[in-house]
Amino acid sequence: MEQRISLVTLGVADLERSRRFYEDGLGWTRSNRDDGVVFYQLPGMILGLWLRKDLAADAGLADDGATFSGMALAYNTRSREEVDAFLADAEAAGGRILKPAEEAFWGGYSGYFADPDGHPFEVAFNPFWTIGEDGGVSLP
């Protein structure tokens, strides 16, 4: 398995307020036009903003503050098969499957696991994103 993080997603209470903070306040440029999630291309990785309740639900967690921190890390793969293999390896290493891999509403395939400290990781195949030889991801 390659050593990398592809995407950091922050769960936010108000997507529009957060978008304005990053774009109007920090001068960042949005990389997508989807109204449900906001992506910013960073060097070698992507920062995502998504409603906290939706991110928690996608990871199969309750948004109660005790089991969900409002953030999920993501590892993107080059195939669906790699998603299944990664989740199996994570579980074998002591991770806990939060959500088995399945077809995702956004057109890909993903599942979630928690590391031994409970940090949620999404493992996803996104047919719309390119993964370079160095493991860096790029938005179309």
114 closest CA partner among 84, 94, 92, 89: 94
The pair of structure tokens assigned to 29 is: 């440029």
- Write the pLDDT tens digit of every residue in 71-129: 889 999 999 999 999 999 999 998 999 999 999 999 999 999 999 878 899 999 999 99
Distance CA 105, CA 130 (A): 19
Confidence band of 133 (pLDDT split at 50, 70, 90) = confident
| CATH fold for the domain made of 7-138 | 2,3-Dihydroxybiphenyl 1,2-Dioxygenase; domain 1 (3.10.180)
Residue with tokens 């199996």: 88
Mean predicted confidence (pLDDT) in 28-35: 89
Q: Write down the pTM of the prediction.
A: 0.75
